[in-house]
Structure 1
Amino acid sequence: MSGALHSAESLRARITDAEWQARVKLAQCYQLAARLRWTDHIYTHFSLRVPGDKPHFLINAYGQTFDEIAPETLVKVDLDGEIIDDPVGSGINPAGYVIHSAIHRARPHTHAVLHTHTAAGIGVAAQKNGLLMISQHSMRFYRRLAYHDYEGIALDLDEQQRIVTDLGDLNALILRNHGLLTCGENLEEAFYNLYYLERACVAQLAAQSGGAELSIVPDSVAEKAARVFDNGIKNKKYLLHWDAYIRQLARNAL
């Protein structure tokens, strides 16, 4: 414990308060994901842009499980993949760099990018018709969800442009045969989007497992519901969602 404390104090002494607060928030997001079972052991990644003039972002150290991640263990990297700060010394997942740097570079207003390999997310990502409009949660993404075809492990830099092109100006992406990705102007928005997309995928698999004919909501109704969610995003209702989860995290009530 004393070593970890010393490491945190040493880091805080050489970074801005704004960066430290970003580290705290991103570490909280990883802790929430661990408790919500949105993890694939050490193999997925969340990133958050570092406040300031330089195009740096924070991401998890390769080899740490989400429940181990703390503000002082996050790695700071630039858009070209150069490690700026690596307290753990294990580097980052190369696929994480390829995916996250592509979006951070193309969309400066996008400060947070979250990527998961949950069973439900992969299950829907493997379905030809993708996310179905069968739940209120899925309607959050009516005509607001992009798809990217699987090209193999995301290690090739030339895939970056195709990811960015497929995502466009949307904040949710299904990586076919792979998993889910959401983003936002801040971490709270990206987390809110991931929560709804994950829940929609869980609901879809549950509905399909019953074997009954599914009730697909008409386009007009799905659009009506989606606009309500859009207004919630505009009015930053996702902050209520995030704050409630942080209170649960503090109480260890998840």
Structure 2
Amino acid sequence: MKKLDPDKLPVHLAIIMDGNGRWAQQRMLKRVIGHQRGAETVNMVVEQAWQLGIKYLTLFAFSSENWSRPAIEVRALMSLLKKYIRQETARMMRKNIRYNVIGNRSDLPDDVNQTLDDAIAQTAGNTGMLLTLALSYGGRQELSMAAARLARDVMAGTLTPEQITVDTFGTYLDTGGLPDPDFLIRTSGEMRISNFLLWQLAYTELYFTETNWPDFTINELHKALADFQSRERRFGKTSDQLTRGSHH
């Protein structure tokens, strides 16, 4: 494994965990077994991110488009999610990890929301890594809901159109208060962002791997992070400007 520079890790790592179903189908297994195996990868990645000192980890667990999957698969995913949260909350407490959820929670089953609320409340005082699960989440939906909230505030007179800046707008998003992701990993070979964090990914470094999520190992994670560390993040500046800037 390549030695990682602890000073050059992403502050906020986001992951599109893709390929559970594909992994299962290649092995003639039910798709839900792929999701179960995927949950083991989640454990490993949470553990690793925590050990590396990454402050924010955001996982795309269930998209608003996933509701159109077969009902049996959706039910299995929901019960897996509930089980995962229940099992992991004690570990989150030990590791000082705080839970956060983004997405349209009103679409989630009541029992799942109850489990999430309990976990969020229980870990609310934790000050270590913030683990955000994107559930029933879609980027365009998030943006249109933020626009609606803005419009309500303008109508109520608490905000003028002139006060709407990039920064104000950011506070109306589900991720208000979180820094944007520095690094996005997507597994299983798809080269797109699939309606994930559309506003937040504006300057994010993107990394795509062919590996399906259940096969994504510690080695793979370290390889991705080493790739991140080899990139120069310029934010529209030139290399010269960056090197000059660091000498002041």
Relative to the length of structure 2, the TM-score reads 0.31
- Which structure has more relative contact order (CA 8 Å, sep 6+)? It is 2
